[in-house]
């Protein structure tokens, strides 16, 4: 099987490739990247005027499978991923049952065999996400996990977290930390500030995220092991990360498009589709996150894709936190940074396609001879309206509804096969 991508603008960060080339794929491997490839192929895609980039790796998604498949499952989550140019995802462990056991990991991987994109399980740090007894990291690694996290719940005990960081490191697993102090949050539902006061609801203090991030950085420094900080949302955490990286601490981090695109003002509508954890914060925080993306302080852009049903999101005060994002992440990033000339496409490729794979130790993320053929073909200039009902996810709780973005995925290729084509 031969697939030929003709006349695309190829951008691959890892090998510093940028230019107008053809890409020849045979079976699941890229066999040639050059101008003017002349050969017979089973399928030829004209990529004139389109960007050809490595498939995105979203290292932070929730597919609700097993246990809450009415919200999402592995198959539908991967449908949404493919529509967003995402060819690999790392699924968080807060499922039911919790992904703290090799049998649950086996279930995820078995179901993922029929999915359109590659699924990498993240196991739990502690059994049942209770923050107490550590999981068997070696067993989770052997079962197929690429990282561990208690995402959705923090590991509140510093000794337990330190032990986890050491044990996971030597088991070959990255620790992803959900930085939150529940004793500070105490039932808050949005950012503590002007908007929470106006709405008369309990707020989530930024101190919760700041203090736990500082703890994780200090643990990583003292124990000389790596840590990855999930969903960064505050200006103070940005400062902590800058300081830590200058000191050589082994810390990496991620943020999501809603933190560099939206602010807490959206909550004045009392619409729970703008509620997530950590919450939308202030204009100053949004600017700080944006600056950290531009200067490389933050390593990755992810989605924290968290599906919930319309019924669950109907009650602003009682709704669960979380938004879907797989189909909008690249477009939101292009609109915010590329089309405003703040950063180049090469850097976006680095943060969305390459860095997540490097952090998790996964293959892919580049376009060159011999590389696995996981590719997204993107119309950088295509404008489109985010209409929730047209999303591929089972749940439609997007915080970008009604927004116009510039940049649309036209084709997604996984292992040399076209798994998504935009026909609009």
- Distance in angstroms (rounded) separating the CA atoms of residues 57 and 365: 8
Interaxial angle between packed helices 206-223 and 235-246, expressed in degrees from 0 to 180 and rounded to the nearest 10: 10
Give catalytic residues, as residue numbers: 304
- Distance in angstroms (rounded) separating the CA atoms of residues 57 and 59: 6
Burial class (CB in 10 A: 0-12, 13-18, 19+), 283: exposed
| 144 C-beta neighbours (distance < 10 Å), count | 16
Is the separation of the CB atoms in 129 and 97 below 8 Å?
no
Is the separation of the CB atoms in 306 and 276 below 8 Å?
yes
- Distance in angstroms (rounded) separating the CA atoms of residues 246 and 409: 36
Interaxial angle between packed helices 235-246 and 283-295, expressed in degrees from 0 to 180 and rounded to the nearest 10: 30
- Distance in angstroms (rounded) separating the CA atoms of residues 277 and 323: 9
């Amino acid at each position: 099987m031969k697939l030929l991508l003709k006349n695309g603008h190829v951008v691959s960060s890892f090998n510093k490739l940028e230019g107008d080339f053809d890409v020849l794929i045979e079976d699941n491997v890229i066999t040639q990247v050059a101008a003017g490839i002349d050969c017979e192929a089973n399928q030829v895609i004209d990529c004139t005027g389109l960007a050809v980039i490595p498939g995105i790796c979203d290292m932070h998604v929730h597919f609700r499978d097993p246990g809450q498949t009415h919200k999402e499952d592995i198959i539908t989550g991967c449908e949404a991923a493919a529509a967003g140019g995402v060819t690999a995802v790392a699924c968080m462990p807060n499922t039911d049952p919790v992904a703290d056991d090799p049998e649950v990991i086996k279930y995820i991987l078995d179901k993922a065999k029929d999915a359109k994109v590659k699924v990498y399980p993240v196991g739990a740090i502690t059994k049942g996400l209770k923050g107490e007894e550590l999981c068997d990291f070696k067993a989770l690694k052997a079962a197929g996990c690429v990282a561990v996290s208690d995402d959705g719940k923090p590991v509140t005990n510093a000794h337990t977290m330190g032990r986890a960081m050491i044990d996971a490191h030597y088991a070959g697993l990255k620790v992803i930390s959900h930085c939150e102090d529940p004793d500070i949050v105490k039932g808050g539902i949005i950012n503590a500030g002007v908007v929470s006061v106006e709405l008369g609801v309990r707020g989530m203090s930024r101190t919760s995220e700041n203090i736990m991030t500082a703890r994780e950085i200090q643990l990583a420094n003292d124990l000389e092991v790596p840590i990855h900080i999930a969903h960064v949302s505050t200006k103070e955490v940005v400062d902590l990360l800058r300081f830590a990286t200058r000191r050589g601490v082994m810390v990496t981090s991620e943020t999501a498009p809603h933190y560099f695109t939206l602010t807490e003002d959206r909550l004045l509508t009392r619409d729970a589709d703008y509620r997530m954890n950590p919450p939308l914060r202030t204009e100053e925080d949004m600017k700080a996150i944006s600056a950290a993306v531009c200067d490389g302080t933050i390593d990755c852009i992810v989605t924290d894709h968290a599906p919930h049903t319309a019924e669950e999101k109907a009650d602003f005060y009682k709704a669960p936190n979380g938004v879907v994002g797989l189909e909008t992440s690249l477009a939101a990033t292009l609109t915010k940074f590329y089309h405003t000339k703040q950063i180049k496409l090469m850097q976006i490729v680095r943060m969305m396609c390459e860095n997540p794979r490097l952090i998790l130790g996964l293959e892919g993320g580049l376009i060159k001879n011999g590389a696995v053929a996981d590719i997204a073909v993107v119309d950088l200039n295509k404008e489109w309206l985010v209409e929730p009902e047209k999303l591929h996810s089972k749940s439609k709780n997007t915080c970008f509804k009604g927004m116009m973005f510039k940049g649309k995925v036209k084709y997604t290729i996984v292992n040399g096969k076209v798994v998504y084509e935009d026909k609009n």
